[in-house]
Amino acid sequence: ALVFNDPDFQHEDLNFLSRSERYEQAVRKSALMVMKLREYGIADPEEIYWFKSFVHRGRPEPLDLHLGMFLPTLLTQATPEQQDRFFMPAWNLEIIGTYAQTEMGHGTHLRGLETTATYDPATQEFILNSPTVTSIKWWPGGLGKTSNYAIVLAQLYTQGQCKGLHAFIVPIRQLGTHEPLPGITVGDIGPKFGYDEMDNGYLKMDNFRIPRENMLMKYAQVEPDGTYVKPLSDKLTYGTMVFIRSLIVGDAARSLSRACTIAIRYSAVRHQSELKPGEPEPQILDYQTQQYKLFPLLATAYAFHFVGAYIKDTYSRVSSDINEGNLSELPELHALTAGLKAFTSWTASAGIEECRMACGGHGYSRCSGIPDIYVTFTPSCTYEGENTVMMLQTARFLVKSYNQVSSGQRVTGMVSYLNDLSRQRIQPQHVAARTVTVPINDPVSLVEAYKARAARLVEAAAKNLQAELNHRKSKEDAWNRTSVDLVRASEAHCHYVIAKLFTAKLSEISNAAVRAVMTELCLLYALYGISKNTGDFLQAGILTDAQITQVNHRVKELLAVIRPNAVALVDSFDFHDVHLGSVLGRYDGNVYENMFEWAKKSPLNKTEVHESFHKHLKPMQAKL
């Protein structure tokens, strides 16, 4: 309310503004936000996060990278001397920075980045170059127009050798005039699918020199004579990646929750057709097909909330271990978050679209707010690690764990089910034998079914990989030829983890009514997942035909059970109307009159007779 009621943060509906105007509004609000944060003395990261998300209503803004990447990177990777030089100016926004990693030619595959930083001992400087078109930095947020500094990732060359990627603090615009510095070409990459307010930019460097002290040297170092000093561990960078990917999981939950809120409220307001002859038109939420589109997504949104919270907790626990020098849990967490980032962002992205479709034609209007949620969220399938690559990282860990088990070692954590696989091989009893009696109303048993599916698919992928290797293929070739199987195995693993975490959450709920409704949602989540992947469960003999029929039937029963609570379940997400930004999803449900009010403000309606009439229509009519 501090933000929503502040007149300084008000502006015209963003849907009616041009890209340039949206950028301008975002910068205005960001500048104001920074002033107010200082004025109110807000410094706690969590509080800053919420303040920011209310100011920008969950949208990206040009200072995101400054606050989210530039400052934290200085904190974690700069030496104390460097912090003295850069941190306070950056904190005071004399320096606005961004984080320039991705290039036109390379994204997720970091080793392929081509920007070079060559050390010149004569002047004790690094010479930065973008040697090819593909090496131009491309996409970093805030780079195009806003930032005057960037942390640039480049291949370090010293004493004639390439030492791999390192980070450098690079000034790009003149303090005072904001003009690009000589040797720097910088600009905006043009319009995108969403992110209108963000000046994602390009950066080309030609023999641009920076002092030696501008390399971030807390870990790796280059001495004045050019001697390279290696960092202690390269696993440390995992930590940041895990953290950011955990944020994406939370974002997946929130974005899907917003879309569900809009679609479910609107479906309660919209009346259409007839269910019973002679009766008034029913709410579209009473149609089974509509429930079948929306309620599994609602359950998914809840599931992802719990997963997001779990990763965040695990991360803070593991990172305190890391500070004590214990890195043992990091690989699994890293592998797990990669897969969960991919799984949740894919699912949420598709789910948001499903919500939009469920709103029919009006979902397609920007006033529904869903197109905006979609374009803002869906790039997370690509950034911070392309999803397929992420799934394959998880798969690498799964195969490694499987091989450990095969060679007699035990594995721990979320993959410990693989230990059972070896036991089953000893007793020639089929996986199915244990689970034929899966009681489909018990979440815990369903989690067992998911576990069996994951085990089976991991095993199948590992065996196929081995078979390819036996065909005297190179390791890489064999991996590539198995990658579709490997992705499936990762997906099954993630699906199991999510079902497990959701189920585990139920026992923590003390309020009986809340627990009851959460149990229904959890069941729906688990059963719907089975009904969408029946092939896996049938083929592995985990469930029988008859059970699948039961599962399908039970899913539809649950839809009817959840129906009365549907609106309450989205109200619980507690999105303020301003934050939701949707005419269809308004809390008061006064949809149609407000759509009309909204449309009247459209730019095409600024004049009653559009200028095209005088320019084109009238002359044509006169001529024909």
Partner 1 sequence: SVNPDLASERQTASFSVEKLTAWLDGGVELTRIRRAVVEAIECDPVFSRENQYFQSQNERYEAAVRKAVHLQKKMHEMGWTEDGPEFKYIYRALSGDIAFLLHRIFMRSISVLGSDKQIAKWIPLASQFQLIGSYAQTELGHGTYLQGLETTAVFDIATQEFILNTPKISAMKWWPGDMGRSATHTVVFAQLYIHGKCYGMHPFIVQIRSLQDHSLCPGIIAGDIGPKMSFEHIDNGYLMLQNVRVPRENMLNKFCEVQPDGTYARRGSQQINYFTMTTVRISLISDEVIIPLMKACTIAVRYSVVRRQSKLKPGEEEAKILDYQTQQEKLLPQLAAAYAFHFINNYLQELFEKGYREVQRKNFDTLPELHAFSSGFKAMVSQYCTSAVEICLRACGGHGYSLLSGLPSLYTKILASCIYEGENTVLLLQAARFLNKCFVAASAGRPVPPSVTYLAAVKPGKCPANNKSDFLSPDIYTEAYQHTAVRLVSSTAAKLQDLIQSGVKKHDAWNQCTVQLVQAAKAHCHYITVKNFAETVEKLETEAGIQKVMKHLCDLFALHGIFSNAGVFLHDGYISGAQMDMVTASYLDLLAVIRNDAVPLVDAFDFTDKNLNSALGSYDGQVYQRLYEWAQKSPTNTQVNPAYEKYLKPLLHNMRSKI
- Distant-in-sequence, close-in-space partners of 533: CB < 8 Å, separation ≥ 6: 453, 495
Residues 119 to 138: which contact partner 1 by CB under 8 A?
Answer: 133-134, 136, 138
The binder of partner 1 chosen from 61, 332, 448, 536 (CB under 8 A): 536
Is-catalytic flag, 459? no
> What does DSSP say about strands 116-120 and 149-158: parallel, antiparallel, or unpaired?
parallel
State which residue, 64 or 199, has the beta carbon closest to partner 1: 199
Query: Is 472 a residue that touches partner 1 (CB under 8 A)?
Result: no
Residues 70 to 99: which contact partner 1 by CB under 8 A?
Answer: 92-94, 96
Measured CA to CA in angstroms, residue 611 lies from 511, 590, 604, 618 at distances of: 62, 33, 10, 10
Beta strands (DSSP E) in 49-115 are 97-100
User: Any idea what DSSP says for residue 427?
Assistant: S
* Residue 190, SS3 per DSSP: coil
State which residue, 188 or 329, has the beta carbon closest to partner 1: 188
Whether 463 and 471 have beta carbons less than 8 Å apart is answered as no
Query: Is 578 a residue that touches partner 1 (CB under 8 A)?
Result: no
Instruction: Give the amino acid at 503.
Output: T
Helix-helix angle 330-358:236-269, to 10 degrees: 20
Query: Is 106 a residue that touches partner 1 (CB under 8 A)?
Result: yes
Query: Is 164 a residue that touches partner 1 (CB under 8 A)?
Result: no
State which residue, 331 or 541, has the beta carbon closest to partner 1: 541
Q: Which two tokens stand for residue 538?
A: 């049938």
Instruction: Give the amino acid at 613.
Output: F
Query: Is 426 a residue that touches partner 1 (CB under 8 A)?
Result: no
Query: Is 608 a residue that touches partner 1 (CB under 8 A)?
Result: yes
Query: Is 430 a residue that touches partner 1 (CB under 8 A)?
Result: no
Q: Of the ranges 333-341, 499-507, 561-569, 588-596, which one interacts with partner 1 (CB under 8 A)? A: 588-596
Query: Is 621 a residue that touches partner 1 (CB under 8 A)?
Result: yes
Question: CA-CA distance, 403 to 391, in Å (whole number)?
Answer: 18
Residues 298 to 337: which contact partner 1 by CB under 8 A?
Answer: none
The binder of partner 1 chosen from 324, 476, 508, 574 (CB under 8 A): 476
* Residue 221, SS3 per DSSP: strand
Query: Is 548 a residue that touches partner 1 (CB under 8 A)?
Result: yes
Query: Is 191 a residue that touches partner 1 (CB under 8 A)?
Result: yes
Per-residue binder mask for partner 1 (CB under 8 A), 248-277, x = binder:
----------------------xxxxxxxx
Question: CA-CA distance, 237 to 175, in Å (whole number)?
Answer: 31
21, HSE (Cβ side, Cα atoms, 13 Å): 8
In the set 61, 332, 384, 468, the catalytic residue is 384
Provide, rounded to whole angstroms, the least separation between the CB of residue 56 and partner 1.
Answer: 14
Residues 21 to 50: which contact partner 1 by CB under 8 A?
Answer: 21, 23-24, 27-28, 30-31, 34-35, 38
Question: CA-CA distance, 154 to 485, in Å (whole number)?
Answer: 35
Provide, rounded to whole angstroms, the least separation between the CB of residue 139 and partner 1.
Answer: 6
Q: Which two tokens stand for residue 505?
A: 């959450």
Measured CA to CA in angstroms, residue 578 lies from 4, 134, 178, 341, 587 at distances of: 7, 41, 34, 28, 10
State which residue, 104 or 259, has the beta carbon closest to partner 1: 104
Instruction: Give the amino acid at 129.
Output: N
Query: Is 112 a residue that touches partner 1 (CB under 8 A)?
Result: yes
- Distant-in-sequence, close-in-space partners of 387: CB < 8 Å, separation ≥ 6: 341, 342, 345, 346, 381
Query: Is 58 a residue that touches partner 1 (CB under 8 A)?
Result: no
* Residue 204, SS3 per DSSP: strand
176 is in an annotated binding site: no
Nearest to 523 by CA among 296, 246, 224, 260: 296
State which residue, 170 or 390, has the beta carbon closest to partner 1: 390
Report the b/e string of 101-116 with b at 16+ CB within 10 A.
Answer: bbbbebbbeeeebbbb
Measured CA to CA in angstroms, residue 555 lies from 299, 516, 524, 559 at distances of: 12, 16, 6, 6
Query: Is 413 a residue that touches partner 1 (CB under 8 A)?
Result: no
102 is in an annotated binding site: yes
The binder of partner 1 chosen from 541, 561, 572, 589 (CB under 8 A): 541
The binder of partner 1 chosen from 123, 159, 233, 539 (CB under 8 A): 539
Whether 198 and 143 have beta carbons less than 8 Å apart is answered as no
Query: Is 11 a residue that touches partner 1 (CB under 8 A)?
Result: no
Q: Of the ranges 47-55, 68-76, 145-153, 220-228, which one interacts with partner 1 (CB under 8 A)? A: 145-153
Query: Is 589 a residue that touches partner 1 (CB under 8 A)?
Result: no
Query: Is 289 a residue that touches partner 1 (CB under 8 A)?
Result: yes
The binder of partner 1 chosen from 120, 207, 235, 364 (CB under 8 A): 364
Provide, rounded to whole angstroms, the least separation between the CB of residue 123 and partner 1.
Answer: 29
Provide, rounded to whole angstroms, the least separation between the CB of residue 92 and partner 1.
Answer: 5
Query: Is 174 a residue that touches partner 1 (CB under 8 A)?
Result: no
State which residue, 318 or 460, has the beta carbon closest to partner 1: 460
Question: CA-CA distance, 99 to 275, in Å (whole number)?
Answer: 56
* Residue 511, SS3 per DSSP: coil
Applying CB under 8 A, what is the total number of residues that bind partner 1? 134
Q: Which helix (H) or strand (E) holds 453?
A: helix 443-470
User: Any idea what DSSP says for residue 210?
Assistant: E
Q: Of the ranges 14-22, 229-237, 301-309, 316-324, which one interacts with partner 1 (CB under 8 A)? A: 14-22
Query: Is 523 a residue that touches partner 1 (CB under 8 A)?
Result: no
Query: Is 102 a residue that touches partner 1 (CB under 8 A)?
Result: yes
Whether 526 and 446 have beta carbons less than 8 Å apart is answered as yes
Q: Which two tokens stand for residue 447?
A: 């989690």
Query: Is 534 a residue that touches partner 1 (CB under 8 A)?
Result: yes
Provide, rounded to whole angstroms, the least separation between the CB of residue 284 and partner 1.
Answer: 10
State which residue, 444 or 469, has the beta carbon closest to partner 1: 469
Question: CA-CA distance, 366 to 476, in Å (whole number)?
Answer: 46
- What pairs with residue 151 in β-bridges? 99, 169
User: Would you list which residues are annotated within the binding site?
Assistant: 102, 141
User: Would you list which residues are annotated within the binding site for FAD?
Assistant: 102, 141
Catalytically active residues are 384
